[in-house]
């Protein structure tokens, strides 16, 4: 395999594939990541991911959904996001980085003439989210300071601002958490265009919501580093004084806060989480007068988004097995009514979310493996499409991507495991790649391109791509998600291997041409599984953990390891050592291409380097690829083209294709 693939046929194929995905959609959204609407749905806004050129990472932009299409709320190439209507629907707020790239500030304009929106008084930092107060007189701002960690789901780097060039000799210095890296709460007065900080020093606020006009509820931790999120609590903050009262401390992670319109109740989700931003679990409602907490019964669905429709009805979105769910709970008697979602998934930034309307219908984004994002209104009677991101190029990609089928099988211990296999045209057996998802508390769903362009790209070249949801995944309740805790690399590996056996036995997978790939926790499994089994002809771990000991002292989320691995890194016989792929490198016979990102704070690039060097010391064929401008995942389009080309090259050359 060449060190550089940009002059190979594989790169040509990859570049053509990415061009088809984006070229005829430049300047328009290719996916929708956020929605908001007036209560009667007369106006809908969407935040989309947009590429203006076939270079670099995408930007975001807010659009009105009008006459079946997307209309940008402002002209220009600045990034905008988080469009929100005022309670009466007359004003629209949004965030823009028009002054400094990557630093977002509040803007407000008339919903009818938002192109004339004015920038509001700025805050110190970047605004991550907003919420109008119940009467519309104030806006709650969630602000992250420069230096604050960015969640792994959004790149695993840190918020930065342009600085003067330092001399070449100048060292990088770390004294711990940067002084301005806290996440704080601010209140913007709409009439006076004034802003003040609400939160007091010494507390970090990850998310928040109005609770009536004079209180705010928030997920808070005593430290701003990403690791402290795992130990957050729910608090109530007095808007006038900033005084804080703790409301709830859970066993697992807490989030997805929303309060009833009368300020009497707060709903939230408690879930075992791998990453901030991947949140799906049990929903609870607290009566603020009595502090009593009750769990909502929604038939074992893992809920990822909550929204009060009125004081007695709570809307929810989530996952049940492989299906998306959208429903409403009557808080008075616990009765549940769900909307039909058809044979499509409900999309979101990572997991299902949407916007409920007063009549109980919901505005959502739907997709499938071969269908790009569509903005849709779900009702009891069916669905109405408002706008689609599909174009000639995406339809061509969809037509070459084969088909996705749900599969299930029985693990060696009798547990039923589910997944999806993406198949090329024709009859098997096919060269097959096991695609391990991250988390592990995440899920493969039948979404557009399986959320990874590498999947339909490989299928278009004749590969089957197998996407299992082993124990530890979400979508089957918290007990199922907890089955991997304390056993990383244990029974979940047997879930994957027995799934491969099932595909071989049913004539789908060719046992002589098997590969494995995965990112983040999937990268860990892709590097670990080849220490346990030699059936794979090639492996591609990307952004992996390969040495739990060294990772603990180089990551920004060491609590993830302490919460999920038995023992301590100080104990040589603990899982921190014995479940590390580098510890067992002598057992590997599979050629490995290991990929990392130089900016990754979650699974630092050194993890990829360690595994590569460990394999080389054992005489195992190994290649290492580190992308200089990428974090926890690939976002730049040139890197995506190279990434896909390298993976295809690695599998094709080792499968003798």
At 462, the pLDDT band (50, 70, 90 cuts) reads very high
The reported pLDDT for the residue numbered 164 is 56
Using an 8 Å Cβ cutoff, are 103 and 65 in contact? no
- Enumerate the H helices of 75-188 as residue ranges: none
pLDDT confidence tier of residue 439, bands split at 50, 70 and 90:
very high
The answer, yes or no, to whether residue 5 has pLDDT greater than 60, is yes
In this prediction, residues 105-116 reach a mean pLDDT of 90
Which stretches does DSSP call E strand in 439-573? 464-469, 509-519, 538-542
Please provide the average confidence, as pLDDT, over all residues in the chain.
Answer: 94
Residue 547 is predicted with a pLDDT of: 98
Residue 518, pLDDT above cutoff 60: yes
What residue has token string 């005022």? 86
Answer yes or no: is pLDDT of 325 > 80: yes
Give 194's strand partners: 189
Q: What is the pLDDT of residues 142-187, one digit of tens each?
A: 999 988 888 878 887 887 765 557 788 989 888 887 778 899 999 9
What does the pLDDT read at residue 2?
A: 62
pLDDT tens string 230-275: 999 999 999 999 999 999 999 999 999 999 999 999 999 999 999 9
- Token readout for 611 is 């595994």
Residue among 352, 358, 364 nearest 313 (CA) = 358
User: Can you give the pLDDT at residue 536?
Assistant: 98
Check: CB of residue 450 under 8 Å from CB of residue 420: yes
pLDDT at 147: 86
By the 8 A CB rule, do 71 and 44 touch?
no
pLDDT at 25: 93
Long-range pairs for 483-489: beta carbons < 8 A, 24 or more residues apart: 483/415, 484/440, 484/564, 485/272, 485/563, 485/564, 486/564, 486/565, 486/566, 486/575, 488/440, 488/524, 488/564, 488/565, 488/575, 488/579, 489/524, 489/525, 489/528, 489/532, 489/579
The crossing angle, in degrees rounded to 10, of helices 521-532 and 491-505 is: 70
- Identify the H or E element spanning 110: strand 103-110
Q: What is the pLDDT of residue 315?
A: 98
Q: What is the pLDDT of residue 1?
A: 58
If we measure between CA atoms, which residue out of 126, 148, 129, 147 comes closest to residue 139?
Answer: 129
What does the pLDDT read at residue 259? 97
What is the structure's pLDDT at 162? 54
What is the three-class DSSP state of 289? coil
**Which domains does the chain carry?**
393-654 (3.40.50.1820)
**Mean pLDDT for the stretch of residues 345-372:** 94
- Per-residue pLDDT for 13 more than 80? yes
Span 40-94, pLDDT tens digits: 888 999 999 999 999 999 999 999 999 999 999 998 889 999 999 999 999 999 9
For 199-223, the pLDDT digits (tens) are: 988 999 999 999 999 999 999 999 9
- 504-507 LR contacts (CB < 8 Å, sep 24+): 504/429, 507/427, 507/428, 507/429
499 pLDDT tier (thresholds 50, 70, 90): very high
> How confident is the model at residue 99, as a pLDDT?
92
- pLDDT exceeds cutoff 80 at 579: yes
Mean pLDDT is lowest, of 30-34, 175-179, 636-640, for 175-179
Question: Is the per-residue pLDDT at 523 higher than 90?
Answer: yes
Comparing 39-48, 440-449, 531-540, which segment has the lowest mean pLDDT? 39-48
User: pLDDT at position 299, please?
Assistant: 87
pLDDT band at 345 (very low <50, low <70, confident <90, very high): very high
33-47, 107-121, 162-176, 486-500: lowest mean pLDDT where? Answer: 162-176
Kindly state the average pLDDT of the residues 479-484: 96
Query: Which residue, 381, 252, 279, 258, is CA-closest to 331?
Result: 258
Q: What is the pTM of this model?
A: 0.96
Cα(544)–Cα(531) distance, integer angstroms? 14
378-417, pLDDT tens digit by residue? 999 999 999 999 999 999 999 999 999 999 999 999 999 9
Query: What does 390-435 look like in DSSP terms, one character per residue?
Result: --HHHHHHHHHS-EEEEEEEE-TTS-EEEEEEEE-SS-S-EEEEEE
**Mean pLDDT (whole number) for 268-296:** 95
């Amino acid at each position: 395999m060449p060190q550089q693939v940009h002059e190979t046929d594989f790169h040509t194929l990859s570049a053509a594939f990415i061009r088809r995905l984006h070229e005829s959609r430049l300047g328009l959204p290719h996916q929708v990541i956020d929605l908001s609407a007036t209560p009667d749905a007369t106006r809908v806004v969407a935040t989309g991911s947009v590429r203006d050129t076939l270079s670099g990472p995408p930007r975001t932009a807010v659009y009105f959904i009008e006459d079946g299409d997307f209309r940008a709320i402002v002209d220009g190439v600045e990034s905008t996001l988080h469009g929100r209507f005022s309670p009466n629907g007359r004003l629209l707020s949004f965030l823009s980085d028009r002054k400094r790239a990557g630093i977002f500030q509040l803007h407000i304009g008339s919903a009818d003439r938002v192109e004339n929106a004015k920038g509001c008084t700025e805050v110190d930092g970047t605004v991550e989210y907003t919420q109008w107060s119940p009467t519309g007189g104030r806006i709650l701002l969630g602000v992250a300071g420069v230096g604050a960690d960015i969640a792994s789901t959004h790149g695993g780097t840190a918020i930065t601002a342009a600085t003067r060039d330092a001399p070449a000799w100048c060292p990088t210095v770390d004294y711990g958490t940067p002084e301005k890296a806290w996440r704080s709460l601010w209140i913007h007065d709409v009439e006076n265009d004034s802003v003040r900080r609400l939160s007091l020093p010494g507390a970090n606020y990850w998310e928040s919501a109005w609770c009536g006009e004079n209180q705010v509820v928030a997920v808070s931790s005593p430290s701003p580093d990403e690791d402290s999120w795992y130990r957050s609590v729910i608090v109530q903050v007095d808007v006038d004084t900033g005084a804080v009262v703790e409301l709830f401390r859970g066993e697992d992670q807490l989030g997805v806060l929303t309060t009833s319109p009368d300020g009497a109740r707060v709903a939230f989700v408690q879930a075992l989480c791998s990453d901030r931003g991947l949140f799906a679990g049990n929903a609870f409602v607290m009566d603020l007068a009595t502090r009593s907490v009750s769990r909502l019964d929604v038939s074992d669905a893992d809920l990822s988004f909550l929204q009060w429709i009125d004081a007695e009805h709570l809307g929810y979105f989530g996952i049940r097995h492989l299906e998306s769910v959208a429903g409403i709970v009557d808080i008075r008697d616990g009765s549940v009514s769900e909307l039909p979602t058809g044979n499509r998934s409900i999309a979101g930034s990572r997991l299902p979310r949407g916007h409920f309307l007063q009549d109980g219908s919901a505005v959502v984004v739907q997709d499938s493996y071969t269908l790009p994002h569509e903005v849709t209104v779900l009702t009891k009677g069916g669905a109405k499409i408002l706008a689609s991101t599909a174009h000639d190029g995406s339809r061509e990609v969809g037509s070459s991507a084969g088909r996705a089928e749900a599969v299930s099988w029985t693990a060696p211990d009798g547990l039923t495991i589910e997944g999806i296999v993406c198949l090329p045209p024709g009859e098997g057996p096919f060269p097959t790649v096991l695609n391990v998802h991250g988390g592990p508390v995440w899920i493969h769903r039948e979404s557009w391109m399986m959320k990874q362009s590498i999947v339909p790209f490989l299928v278009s070249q004749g590969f089957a791509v197998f996407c299992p949801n082993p124990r530890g995944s979400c979508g089957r309740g918290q007990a199922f998600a907890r089955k991997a805790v304390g056993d990383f690399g244990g029974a979940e590996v047997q879930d994957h291997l027995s799934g491969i056996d099932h595909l071989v036995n049913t004539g789908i997978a060719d046992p002589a041409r098997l590969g494995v790939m995965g990112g983040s926790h999937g990268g860990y499994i892709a590097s670990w599984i080849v220490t346990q089994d030699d059936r794979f002809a090639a492996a591609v771990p990307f952004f992996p953990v390969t040495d739990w000991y060294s990772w603990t002292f180089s990551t920004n989320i060491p609590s993830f390891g302490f919460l999920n691995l038995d023992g301590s890194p100080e104990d040589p016989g603990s899982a921190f050592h014995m479940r590390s792929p580098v510890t067992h490198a002598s057992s590997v016979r599979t050629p490995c291409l290991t990929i990392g990102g130089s900016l990754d704070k979650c699974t630092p690039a050194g993890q990829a380097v360690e595994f590569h060097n460990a394999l080389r010391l054992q005489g195992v064929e190994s290649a290492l690829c580190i992308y200089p401008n990428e974090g926890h995942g690939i976002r730049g389009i040139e890197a995506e083209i190279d990434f896909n080309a390298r993976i295809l090259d690695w599998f094709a050359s080792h499968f003798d294709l």
